[in-house]
């Protein structure tokens, strides 16, 4: 059985022995998907290792890791985005992993150049639009900033890691000046001040508040697979565009993981990362949470396959992560809330 521990700074003192027992693995995870249970239970059955999970947002988990220092019980940090993995690595909170399995299975552009983090699933950040209201939807990220779409675009806050990594990728691909102009243009095109999560942006298309929404693919695919309030019933009205198909390809971010610098169960942690790269776990990312597997050739869930084939930007995420500071500066400068 997986034990899930609530994140509370006082809780650490109440966890003596958590870190040292053999056959244990302590995950600090910011994955926020109800359907992940099997991802963990399958590993427990396979390896006879008990997983203890501490869940929270990535910033909280990183702060906690840093505060715990050498005494941290954390073995693995899992995030839903590149930026926080890169930050944890920069802070010295992750250790390099020497694994032939990971080296071979995970595409080079989806892993840290120094092997401190690896992407296990992919999500494209694409456009969703009202098919009745928008005759010519934007086809590129640059289009999204075109004045033709003034007042039509819903996209979440710049505090959101998905947007931070998207802008960092635009800096990497097109340079800082183009990225700044782009961010300015998108702010000018916003239908409303940024609010809510990705699902709320697509819901805004259903409610008519937004004509165009920016969201990760899995939020939409989930609404195809299962009933999502305010979305599934009207999903036929919504079209989607994978941007930049004639150029770099659609921006793709990862959910990934690394091994904590002071992991007490480092061997189990390596086993777990290699398990995440296995066909079994890779298929789960698609079936369970409508993501794209990181490993090529793993079958997609129907909900994900129904989005159609697309060209993904294969830019190196280590290079993208180097621009995260500049991205934040641009967001602040252009007044992207
Ligand atoms: Fe998410």
Residue 4's pLDDT is what? 52
Is the CB of residue 313 less than 8 Å from the CB of residue 173? yes
CA distance 77 to 98: 17
Q: How confident is the model at residue 336 (pLDDT cuts 50, 70, 90)?
A: very high
How many helices (H) and strands (E) the chain has is answered by 13, 11
Is the CB of residue 102 less than 8 Å from the CB of residue 183? no
Domain span at residue 61 reads 3-122+252-299
User: How do residues 189-198 score in pLDDT, each as one tens digit?
Assistant: 999 999 999 9
Question: Per the structure, how many domains does the chain have?
Answer: 2
CATH number for 30:
3.40.190.10
Residue 4 to residues 1, 27, 52, 111, Cα–Cα distance (Å): 10, 9, 6, 27
CA 70 / ligand 1 centre spacing (Å):
30
Lowest mean pLDDT across 2-16, 87-101, 160-174, 263-277: 2-16
Same domain, 131 and 236: yes
CA 16 / ligand 1 centre spacing (Å):
32
Is the CB of residue 259 less than 8 Å from the CB of residue 113? no
Contacts of 304 (CB under 8 A, 6+ apart): 217, 218, 221, 286, 290, 291, 292
Averaged pLDDT, 24-47: 93
CA 58 / ligand 1 centre spacing (Å):
12
Among residues of the chain, what percentage have pLDDT more than 70? 93
Domain assignment present for 226: yes
Whole-structure pTM value: 0.92
- Residue 274 C-beta-side C-alpha neighbours within 13 Å: 15
Is the CB of residue 151 less than 8 Å from the CB of residue 191? yes
Domain assignment present for 306: no
CA 100 / ligand 1 centre spacing (Å):
29
CA 288 / ligand 1 centre spacing (Å):
14
Residue 32's pLDDT is what? 81
Same domain, 133 and 202: yes
Residue 327 to residues 37, 77, 82, 159, Cα–Cα distance (Å): 34, 24, 14, 11
CA 147 / ligand 1 centre spacing (Å):
29
Domain assignment present for 309: no
Residue 33's pLDDT is what? 84
Same domain, 128 and 118: no
CA 161 / ligand 1 centre spacing (Å):
9
User: DSSP class of residue 58?
Assistant: H
CA 49 / ligand 1 centre spacing (Å):
27
CA 84 / ligand 1 centre spacing (Å):
13
Same domain, 323 and 219: yes
Residue count (the chain):
337
């Amino acid at each position: 059985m997986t034990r899930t521990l609530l994140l509370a700074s006082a809780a650490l003192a109440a966890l003596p022995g958590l870190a040292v027992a053999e056959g244990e693995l302590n995950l600090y995870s910011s994955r926020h998907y109800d359907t992940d249970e099997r991802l963990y239970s399958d590993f427990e059955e396979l390896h006879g290792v008990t997983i203890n999970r501490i869940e929270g947002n990535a910033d909280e988990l990183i702060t906690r890791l840093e505060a715990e220092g050498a005494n941290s019980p954390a073995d693995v940090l899992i995030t839903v985005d590149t930026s926080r993995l890169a930050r944890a690595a920069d802070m010295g909170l992750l250790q390099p992993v020497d694994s032939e399995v990971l080296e071979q299975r995970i595409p080079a552009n989806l892993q840290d150049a120094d092997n401190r983090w690896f992407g296990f699933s992919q999500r494209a950040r694409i456009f969703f639009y009202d098919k009745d209201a928008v005759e010519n939807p934007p086809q590129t990220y640059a289009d999204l900033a075109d004045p033709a779409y003034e007042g039509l675009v819903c996209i979440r806050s710049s505090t959101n890691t998905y947007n931070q990594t998207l802008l960092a990728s635009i800096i990497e691909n097109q340079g800082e000046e183009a990225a700044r102009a782009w961010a300015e243009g998108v702010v000018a095109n916003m239908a409303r001040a940024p609010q809510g999560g990705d699902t709320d942006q697509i819901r805004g298309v259903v409610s008519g508040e937004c004509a165009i929404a920016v969201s990760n693919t899995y939020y939409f695919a989930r609404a195809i697979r299962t009933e999502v309030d305010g979305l599934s019933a009207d999903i036929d009205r919504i079209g989607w565009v994978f941007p930049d198909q004639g150029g770099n390809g659609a921006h793709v971010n990862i959910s990934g993981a690394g091994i904590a610098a002071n992991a007490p169960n480092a061997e189990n942690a390596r086993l777990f990362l290699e398990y995440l790269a296995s066909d079994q776990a890779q298929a789960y990312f698609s079936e369970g949470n409508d993501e794209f597997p990181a490993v090529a050739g793993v079958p997609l869930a129907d909900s994900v396959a129904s989005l159609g084939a697309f060209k993904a930007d294969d830019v190196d995420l280590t290079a993208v992560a180097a621009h995260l500071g500049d991205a934040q500066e641009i967001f602040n400068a252009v007044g992207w809330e």
